[in-house]
Structure 1
């Protein structure tokens, strides 16, 4: 496997890459959509919403949390997950700026 050479890219480029990589799975998109719909929940609730085994859901939650897209707090024996609004704001700003630049571009290259 090749070296990623992330040091050659800006901090923002690396951060956007990390965030988008974390949501590049349909199960993780479904988890984010569920958390947005219910505001907060525990892992058991998410397992009931997805056609996946509990360990698989836990692994997806771990990936989302490691990327910073969700936050989790321990409440007794459960972990309560919610959306990390700051991370979502970064994604929104990135895609909004990208779309604005695309719409401002006048030439048709292809």
Structure 2
């Protein structure tokens, strides 16, 4: 048995941040579209922009997504290929 459980801390943080329906939906949509901004996500999810921004902040902090600024707009995309594989494997039925 592997007694060094601390090496799993990064992946557990990623799993924790993905364990919310809105964040999981954001990540799935980013996988499908490749890139998106807050305004588009707000329209699709039908929730306030401030709520979307809070969820995006948590996803960014965990290293799941990254944003690229284009003027006043920030476009978000999946940062890590492991996330793509994980989401595609758990949402294979959708």
Give yes or no for TM over 0.5: yes
Specify every segment of 5 or more residues in structure 2 that has no aligned partner in the other structure, as ranges. 90-94
* Residue 51 (structure 1) shift: 2.4
Q: Which residue of 1 aligns with 2:22?
A: 27
Which string of whole-angstrom CA distances, capped at 9 and with x for unpartnered residues, describes residues 9-32 of structure 1?
322x10111000110100001101
Task: Write out the 4+ residue segments of structure 1 that deviate beyond 3 Å after TM superposition.
Answer: none
- Cα distance in 2 for partners of 1:58, 1:87 equals 23
In the alignment, which of 13, 16, 25 is matched to residue 18 of structure 1? Answer: 13
Q: Which residue of 1 aligns with 2:92?
A: none
- Cα distance in 2 for partners of 1:21, 1:65 equals 13
> Relative to 1, partners in 2 of residues 1:86 and 1:37: Cα closer, same or farther, differing over 3 Å?
closer
C-alpha contact 1:69 1:87 (8 A) present in aligned 2:
no
Count of residues paired in the alignment = 84
Specify every segment of 5 or more residues in structure 1 that has no aligned partner in the other structure, as ranges. 1-7, 96-110
Q: Which residue of 1 aligns with 2:78?
A: 83
* Residue 52 (structure 1) shift: 1.2
- Cα distance in 1 for partners of 2:82, 2:6 equals 17
Q: Which residue of 2 aligns with 1:3?
A: none
RMSD value, Cα:
1.9
Q: Which residue of 1 aligns with 2:64?
A: 69
TM-score (norm 1): 0.69
